[in-house]
Amino acid sequence: MNKRPFVSWLLLAIQLLVFVVMESVGSTSDTQTLILFGAKYAPLLALGQWWRLILPIFIHIGLSHLIINSLTLFFLGPMVERITGHFKFLLIYLAAGVMGNALSYQFSPSVSAGASTSLFGLFAVFIALAILYPKNHYFQVLGKQYRTLIIVNIILNVFSSGVDLWGHVGGMLGGMLFTFVIMAGQRDSFNWGHRALALLGYGAILAFILMNHGIYNLLI
């Protein structure tokens, strides 16, 4: 397998390009520009614009937001990608982002965007790997470190304004569940039944939110 983390680099390039394009059109701090480019916006999601669960992953609100998330992706992305492989990394990244935006839609009406939904999913990958590989010392250490990091971040989010707490919680949940689904683990610790249950859990949460807001009926 090619160990170069080209998916991480590609994701980074996309969000940088999107930022430049948005700034050339208007401003990434302008609500109308954010909505135009696909930020999470509850009224339009309710009309069936499902892509607003995906596109916000690549949109950032202001330069500082972009820099923080880009640096996190630059250092964390390759680390996870080398463990999971390219395709699985992409699946986890997108699945975490979608779940994060879905929970944000469920509990927060404000316009929101950012890769942090997916990045919290990458944090949670290490917690899932610690469960999947209980005899792997490396994963156990990383699992404890990132569990602490998530707890500290969530506590800070609770007391911070302008932070999408539910987006972060959803991203963490989505990243963990999808890691359970697509990473094999040790046979004595995680079997196909558990993986199916994790996939069912992910799908059930997403379906509940979509049906709760009537989006499901619009899609079909």
Tokens of residue 169, six digits: 């919680």
Active-site residue, from 108, 116, 137, 160? 116
- Which of 168, 189, 194, 213 is an active site residue? 168
Residue with tokens 């569990």: 147
d(CA 115, CA 103): 15
To the query of whether residue 112 is one of the catalytic residues in this protein, the response is no
Which residue, 138, 140, 131, is CA-closest to 186?
131
Q: Is 116 a catalytic residue?
A: yes
Match 């209980």 to its residue by tokens: 134
Largest CA distance in the chain: 54
What DSSP string describes 151-196?
A: HHHHHHHHT-TT--HHHHHHHHHHHHHHHHHH----TTT--HHHHH
By the 8 A CB rule, do 90 and 5 touch?
no
Mention every residue, 6+ apart, whose C-beta is less than 8 A from residue 104. Answer: 40, 112, 117, 164, 166, 167, 170
Q: Which residues are catalytic?
A: 116, 168
